[in-house]
Structure 1
Amino acid sequence: MKKTLLAASISCALAAPVAHAQNSVTLYGIIDNGIAYVNSVASGPHAVGKSRTSAATGFGSGDRWGLTGTENLGNGLSAIFTLENGFSGTTGAFAMGGRMFGRQAFVGLSDSRYGSLTLGRQYDYTFDYVAPLLSWTQFGSIYGAHVGDVDNSFQTFRLNNSVKYQVSPLPGLQLGGLYAFSNQASGPNGAGFANNRAWALGVRYSDGPLRFASSFLLVNNPSAGLAASTNPGGAIGDEYSGPSNIFYNVGFVTRQQVFTVGSGYTWDALSVNFVYSDARLDYANGRDIRVDNYELNGRYQITPAFLVGLAYIFTDGSGYTGTGANAYANGTKPRWHQLNFGAAYFLSKRTDVHFSTVYQRAAGDATTAALNLIGPAGQGAKSQLLLALGLRHRF
């Protein structure tokens, strides 16, 4: 009897791939742990900063594990899905606000001629199309993203309740459009269809060594996701706040508009990219601020196993800095200069040792530095330096 059951089990196991030959599910992930040093970090902009050496995780690439799959439906049509979890490699805890699949969660259909349509929690095109040209995604660390992530190129927030369409009408060309619902019924004080909703457009082109990408994002009342009395179930959840998101924390944001454009070119082992972003925020008190980021970066593949990269970022702010932001600026012209350096040595195709340095200097009316995810350098500290060394494995 036991031999019969064993034989049946083996037969089923061997037959399964044949029965589902046109379907696939892939488990993937990244774990990235190391040590980081910051010369000055404080609990708030008014506090005195101190140096800190600590265990760090996910700073080269965010820790994650995920499942992605396809099912062939015939005639070039496939069902697709992705579930991607973010976690801490040093504690094992959920990241992304405790969400099980906070990085991505969507299902959809993909057609070889007509493109893909997906529904769920997804990235906008700033990340999909433009962010691959930025230094923090290529060779640096997450701490090297733009000040306050005001252009969302670091994806401080993903878009919930979103419907996303992408198509490639010509070789090398991709076009996309996205709409994220507020999921709120009409009501007083601005509640309704437009309260915490978003829409986005994107274009990307690649032809040999040449790359070009552009995106547009518009969000109405994104701060509504922070308070249960407004609309936490809308396009943006509770991610719209943090110690380094200095432009969001100045008050209730009624409108956020972001335009980005970037291009790059590769000569053999050298790759050079330039990205410009223009972000505009309107606040509930009728004030507004414009923040422009200019990034020039280059990456050089010294050997197949060893790469280095360097970037310069200039952040130019203009307009209202608000009650919450006056600790970061004492006028309407805050500016920051930032240098990102990164290097990686690949021990194999999936495992590498990486090092990154980020230096930021406040200028103009800006009164303190505030690296992405690190927070303010502290009262009177106009510069901030970070050094990080890590071991990263992809599976």
Structure 2
Amino acid sequence: MKVAICAAAVLAACATPMMAQAQSSVTLYGIIDNGIAYTNSVASSITTQGASRWSMQTGWGSGDRVGFTGREDLGGGLAAVFTLEMGFSAVNGTSSQGGRLFGRQAFVGLDSNTYGRFTMGRQYDFTFDYIAPMLSWLQFGSIYGAHVGDVDNTFQTVRLNNTVKYEVSPLQGLKLGAIYAFSNQAGGPDGQGFANNRAFGFGATYKRGGLHAAATYLQLDQPSAGQPGGSNPNGANGGEYTFSTAIFYNAGFVERQRIAAVGAGYDFGQLSVNAVFTDTHLNYRGDQSTRVDNYEVNTRYMFTPAISAGIGYIFTDASGFTGTGATSYASGSHPRWHQVNAGASYLLSKRTDLHASVVFQRQAGDAEATAINFFGPAGTNQKNQIAILAGLRHRF
């Protein structure tokens, strides 16, 4: 009898971790995406002479990444969740997002079937979660097809540090969310303290049948304090304004950035159509300000389960302060840009595809800089910039 009891105890002890393991999961995932690109003109700055370039590029269809995501069932419809995701370049093996180990995402939280999802860490805001899936760059174009200067952060130039994020679904198809990113500073006067380099926002999205719609708002207070040499590099913005095509951020010291976005679309089976509007206000030091509106329409068609293609048009309308000296991107207060994104994909398997895209951008109005996302400005006396790309992407 004692032997039977001991044997049962041993079996129970062995079974316990197996049961716990069955209720938990950790997934390794990633994307590797390399290709060849031609650009008609690339320059080191807005005011220098550009030249054509052939180059190998990485992550241009989808940013290269490796990540871990996990979920543990805690019972009663509650689970612990986490994500750790790093970005890198598959061309040279270097880290992206300023060399951060997990620069794309890093968060932990709780997910409840009844009360929603609460997470803490480095996270996307709702312009990416709810609006970006309707944009051409994410659907079929390339990361170089983001809106001019990514002034509306729909490409997530700025991922938010120190965030608490909450999402809940009160009705079927409806999701509501709010996010707050701490400055991590003690109280103090203007330009310092609790509001120095903080952010907050909210969003709503609705999906039913083929219809999907979303609206979001994001505000960043004193985000330039996170730039190198700023007064708070450990706040919400960790110095991510620094790249050559961020022409609106480079125009001056940003004291406040406000982004409102709305979008809607419909899937008709093989055909999908989307329309998105974003309105961005930038307040600079010295009582200067800029307003930038982006209007995008796009469509995508699935010819077969393996072949798809799409095209999108973006009109960017800006007004106000346009910078000075080497950072000036306009001759007057009303620059405009036209941009066309086109792309196609052929699935070799469920995880591997060949894809190609074309991004064309043209100055209009008072604009004097053409700058396709990440490629660099076209340079002086270049009213048009075009990038043609083709590559291979593998997901795992």
Question: What is aligned with 1:368?
Answer: 369
Letter in 1 for 2:343: G
Q: Secondary structure at the match of 1:238?
A: coil
Give the superposition deviation at 1:13: 11
Does the C-alpha gap of structure 1 residues 205 and 229 become closer, same or farther in structure 2, counting only changes over 3 Å? closer
Deviations 1:48-94 (A, max 9, x none): 11000001000000000100001111100100000000000111111
Cα distance in 2 for residues equivalent to 1:296 and 1:14 = 56
Question: What is aligned with 1:95?
Answer: 96
Cα distance in 2 for residues equivalent to 1:105 and 1:369 = 34
Give the superposition deviation at 1:230: 0.2
Deviations 1:309-330 (A, max 9, x none): 0000000001111215764210
Contact 1:250–1:324 at 8 Å: present in 2 too?
A: no
Cα distance in 2 for residues equivalent to 1:297 and 1:36 = 23
Contact 2:181–2:199 at 8 Å: present in 1 too?
A: yes
Cα distance in 2 for residues equivalent to 1:380 and 1:346 = 40
Question: What is aligned with 1:42?
Answer: 43
Question: What is aligned with 2:105?
Answer: 104
Q: Secondary structure at the match of 2:250?
A: coil
Cα distance in 2 for residues equivalent to 1:257 and 1:78 = 34
Cα distance in 1 for residues equivalent to 2:312 and 2:15 = 52
In the alignment, structure 2 segments of 5+ residues that lack a partner are 1-12
Report the number of matched residues. 384
Cα distance in 1 for residues equivalent to 2:194 and 2:151 = 24
Moved more, 66-75 or 185-194: 185-194
Contact 2:247–2:327 at 8 Å: present in 1 too?
A: no
Q: How does 1:148-297 map to 2 (within 5 A)?
A: 148-188=149-189, 190-297=191-298
Cα distance in 1 for residues equivalent to 2:97 and 2:330 = 29
Q: Secondary structure at the match of 1:97?
A: helix
Question: What is aligned with 1:307?
Answer: 308
Give the superposition deviation at 1:147: 0.1
Deviations 1:77-113 (A, max 9, x none): 1000000000001111111100000000000000001
Deviations 1:211-249 (A, max 9, x none): 101110001000000134500000001112210000000
Does the C-alpha gap of structure 1 residues 205 and 285 become closer, same or farther in structure 2, counting only changes over 3 Å? same
Deviations 1:141-168 (A, max 9, x none): 0000000000000000100000000001
Give the superposition deviation at 1:268: 1.9
Contact 2:105–2:123 at 8 Å: present in 1 too?
A: yes
Does 2:139 correspond to 1:130?
Answer: no
Question: What is aligned with 2:342?
Answer: 341
Cα distance in 2 for residues equivalent to 1:13 and 1:102 = 38
Q: Secondary structure at the match of 1:224?
A: helix
Give the superposition deviation at 1:180: 0.3
Deviations 1:105-135 (A, max 9, x none): 0000000011000000000000000000000
Compute the TM-score of the two structures, normalised by the length of structure 1: 0.95
Give the superposition deviation at 1:387: 0.3
Deviations 1:248-299 (A, max 9, x none): 0011100000000000011120000000000000001101000000000000
Q: Secondary structure at the match of 1:156?
A: coil
Question: What is aligned with 1:355?
Answer: 356
Cα distance in 1 for residues equivalent to 2:317 and 2:289 = 14
Give the superposition deviation at 1:186: 2.6
Contact 1:249–1:324 at 8 Å: present in 2 too?
A: no
% identical aligned pairs:
61
Does the C-alpha gap of structure 1 residues 252 and 392 become closer, same or farther in structure 2, counting only changes over 3 Å? same
Contact 1:83–1:104 at 8 Å: present in 2 too?
A: yes
Cα distance in 2 for residues equivalent to 1:135 and 1:228 = 35
Give the superposition deviation at 1:18: 3.9
In the alignment, structure 1 segments of 5+ residues that lack a partner are 1-11
Letter in 2 for 1:31: I
Contact 2:191–2:222 at 8 Å: present in 1 too?
A: no
Does the C-alpha gap of structure 1 residues 14 and 374 become closer, same or farther in structure 2, counting only changes over 3 Å? farther
Cα distance in 1 for residues equivalent to 2:128 and 2:175 = 14
Deviations 1:358-393 (A, max 9, x none): 000000000121101112101010100000001000
Moved more, 15-24 or 37-46: 15-24
Q: Secondary structure at the match of 2:170?
A: coil
Contact 2:162–2:181 at 8 Å: present in 1 too?
A: yes
Compute the TM-score of the two structures, normalised by the length of structure 2: 0.95
